[in-house]
Structure 1
Amino acid sequence: MQTSELRIALFTGNYNYVRDGANQALNRLVGYLLNQGAAVRIYSPRTDTPAFPSVGKVVGVPALALPGRAEYRAPLMIPPSVKRDIRDFQPNLFHVASPEILGHRAVTLAHKKDLPVVASVHTRFETYPRYYGLTFMEPVVEAMLRRFYRRCDAIFAPSESMAQLLREQRMNYDVGIWSRGVERDTFSPEVRDLGWRRSLGIADDEPVIGFVGRLVMEKGLDVFADAIDKLVQRGVKHRVLVIGEGPAREWFEGRLPQAVFVGFQKGDDLGRAVASSDMLFNPSVTETFGNVTLEAMAAGLPVVAAIATGSQSLVEDNVTGRLVRPGAISAFADALQHYCEDKDSRAAAGAAGRVASERFGWDAVNQELVDAYLRIVRQRMEHRPPSQRPR
């Protein structure tokens, strides 16, 4: 079977109505598949105000805004009109990118059609309850995820550390890797701009601690702020640069009154903002890969991150940055203080990160997933009676 023979039905709760690393990776994947001659149809909630233009044909599914997080939409079902579209499209593989109602319905439909179905894992949903005072719910959420992922032929994690966790959680017996790439021209030390920093009131000799991402509590904003408080108490010279937007911005601004908030950035503006920092601080434990970590490394920044899935596969402790036990405020502050006060160590770690980022190219990582698609489709065909195998 050739790539051009693939017909992929992709189901996702967010394809382009809110910008995040997961849906940008999905759009890149669809673009790569289309360029290789495959056919792809995307089934996802749509909006009149998308965050960015979508790649490929998107068929809308009914959805409602999530309570308390109205920027996200929860798909409700696969209506008859969409089922007819799926039938007419004649997919030979389902790819499910989110474990909500739409994902469950898609897996059930794939089983009815005797089609293989794979899932990609983009975030650690089982960790979310702890950020909303519902830690006791984590085992329940994990059990729900296990039921969903075990119904798939295979699942794909963006990092080896996340794949190993999925194996330990017994989510599926076939766990593969679909990594992430980085645009090394966009994220490069060459685009560092001291003039831009000065326009924000940041002096050239002030070490800048960057935060990049959506401003939501599950990104570890409380840990970030507490570690910065430690630096202030110790009298460590620094500035905080927050790159991103989200519902927790007001809370974060209140906790970090001296920080510079530049809002959402994209493309070359994002590359400039990242490169104009001096280090990245990423305390999140919900990441499955950590796109912002890889982008910072490509920009030549040391990374201080939690010992968590994603970061463990990217950051080499004491080489490209520091890995710290999740929630260890003093240890995070120690690592940040080290890079604030030791310019040579900062430069050495940043240079090592730039080199380490070279192995992450989008075409290569997407081709690995395509190869897995082909393997899974062939396996399903071989288990069918000869009379039912397509020519």
Structure 2
Amino acid sequence: MKTGNQAPTDMKHIVIATETFTPEINGVANTLQHLCHGLMQRGHQVSVVRPRQQNEARGPVAGAGTALFSDEYVVTGLPLPGYSDLRLGITRAATLRKLWQQKQPDALYVATQGPLGIAAVTAAKKLGIPVSSGFHTNFHTYSKYYGAGFLAKLICAYGRWFHNRTAITLVPTRKMEQTLRTMGITPTGVWSRGVDCNRFAPHKRNAELRATWGLAPQDRAVMYVGRLASEKNLQMAVACFERLRALHTRSRFVLIGDGPLRKRLAERHPDYIFCGIQQGEALARHYASGDIFLFPSKTDTFGNVVTEAMASGLAVVAYDDAAASEHIRQDENGMKAALDDDSKFIDHALKLADQPTLLNRIRAQARLDALDLNWHRQIDQFEQLVLNTPQKAKYHAVNQSFSLL
């Protein structure tokens, strides 16, 4: 019989190794924040291993517990070449092995494939700790946007080598699962994403905020939320809005986020509204104060902003990929175009702007569907995949050679 102070017998100690974590602002950090919080709520002990973040003060490498984790271990952080907002974690496998020998974890989840991930997987395997990984970022497709497209094949080979050293690789959509199988990464499991429908909600629409954007109640705010960077296909968002504004002259383009393209966009389009990075309730108000949401990315593995927009009651226009491939039903709760059909992407946005009744119906249905996308269900799925997967299924891959084949 359990006493009042006794931990549940199924409580586990789970280590999450990641090269990005809150308060950094990106989809991976956001996902891991919800994951840690959900696991902690269920009584699990969660340890985070991460690099020291940009401008983070130096100090003791061990952190005290918070609402997100039981403890953390901070390693040296170096900027990722070409993507300085993210840091690479630098540590030795022997250092992590010594750390985990003191109190051996029940499972390791590696969220990123950098040097920290390699060291973590190596250390865990030496100790017999079950290892799972996540495919959160399409680095092989990012490469062409940073003048390194010639490295795509090498990056794919590296990803295959890295993930096939772990027992299972988690992906956010069924379409991404197919992509990884084509790359030769197996086995995989679908672990999707939830959305906080209490935070993101239509009732947070703010007339005063819209007025600062120069909008009357009947005018349309076309929204973009995310990193202002080349890999997000922002040129399509711009082309789409310009076509829409030619017909609906009082529409405004509102961009939330920051990145290397912000300065250039602001210089070329001084009439666009750049709100910078928004968080918490401010972000929720910005979402809810919009009308049409453009998600032009063809590189995201999921795109949390799609489900956040749906929860906020926006009509999403996206490509049939990532979150949209899973959650958008054409002409019902949003609009989606084939990946190779840019003209259809624009047509969908124009259709929403031209037909207020359709726009309002889609916005209402998007909110209703988002209510089913709760994080509780996704934490259940994570537990099943990470804590119950037979861990020796692929361990023959420990010594496999790095191959470009």
TM-score, normalization by structure 1: 0.89
Match status 1:10 vs 2:23: no
Q: Identify which of 246, 271, 280 aligns with 2:284.
A: 271
CA distance in 2, matches of 1:140, 1:264: 33
Please give the residue correspondences for 1:205-224 in structure 2 after superposition, counting only pairs within 5 Å. Answer: 205-224=218-237
| Deviation for aligned residue 1:362 | 1.0
Query: 2 CA distance for matches of 1:267 and 1:306?
Result: 27
Could you tell me how far apart the structure 2 residues matched to 1:10 and 1:347 are?
Answer: 41
For residues 249-276 of structure 1, what are the alpha-carbon distances to aligned partners after superposition, in whole Å with 9 as ceiling and x for unaligned? 1122234332111111111111111111
Q: Does residue 98 in structure 1 map to residue 112 in structure 2? A: yes
The equivalent position to 2:157 in structure 1, one of 143, 160, 173, is 143
Q: Distance between the aligned counterparts of 1:184 and 1:27, measured in 2? A: 16
The residue number in structure 1 matching 2:61 is none
Cα 1:185/1:155, change in 2 over 3 Å: same
Q: Assess if the C-alpha contact under 8 Å between 2:295 and 2:316 holds in 1.
A: yes
Spell out the pairing of 1:1-391 with structure 2 (5 A cutoff).
Answer: 4-47=10-53, 55-56=68-69, 57-78=71-92, 80-173=94-187, 175-232=188-245, 237-326=250-339, 328-376=341-389
**How far is 1:192 from its partner?**
1.0
Matching residue's letter, 2:267: G
In the TM superposition, residue 331 of structure 1 has moved relative to its aligned partner by 2.4
- How far off its partner does 1:365 sit? 0.7
Residue type of the alignment partner of 1:73: R
TM-align CA RMSD: 2.3
Percent identity over the alignment is: 29
Q: Is the 8 A contact 2:13 2:107 kept in 1?
A: yes
Separation in structure 2 between the aligned mates of residue 268 and residue 107 of structure 1, nearest angstrom: 37
Separation in 2, partners of 1:331, 1:258: 26
What is the CA-CA distance between 1:218 and the residue it aligns to?
A: 1.2
> Relative to 1, partners in 2 of residues 1:252 and 1:143: Cα closer, same or farther, differing over 3 Å?
same
Structure 2 contact 49–73 (Cα < 8 Å) conserved = yes
State the one-letter code of the partner of 2:24: V
Change (3 A) 1:138 1:379: closer
**CA separation of 1:136/1:79 partners in 2, compared to 1, >3 Å: closer, same or farther?**
closer
Task: Give the 3-state SS of the residue equivalent to 1:19 in structure 2.
Answer: coil
Deviation at 1:169, TM superposition (A): 2.5
2:398 paired residue number: none
Amino acid in structure 2 at the alignment position of 1:90: Q
User: Secondary structure at 2:254's aligned position in 1?
Assistant: strand
Relative to structure 1, is the Cα distance of residues 157 and 79 closer, same or farther in structure 2, using a 3 angstrom cutoff?
A: closer
1:73–1:94 CA distance, 2 compared to 1 (3 A): same
Counterpart Cα distance in 1 of 2:246 and 2:84 = 37
| SS of residue paired to 2:363 | helix
Provide the C-alpha distance between the structure 2 equivalents of 1:244 and 1:3, rounded to a whole number of angstroms: 43
Measure the CA separation in 1 of the matches of 2:83 and 2:357: 43
Detail structure 1 runs of 4+ shifted over 6 Å in the superposition.
none
Change in 2 beyond 3 A, CA 1:191/1:28:
same
Deviation at 1:47, TM superposition (A): 3.3
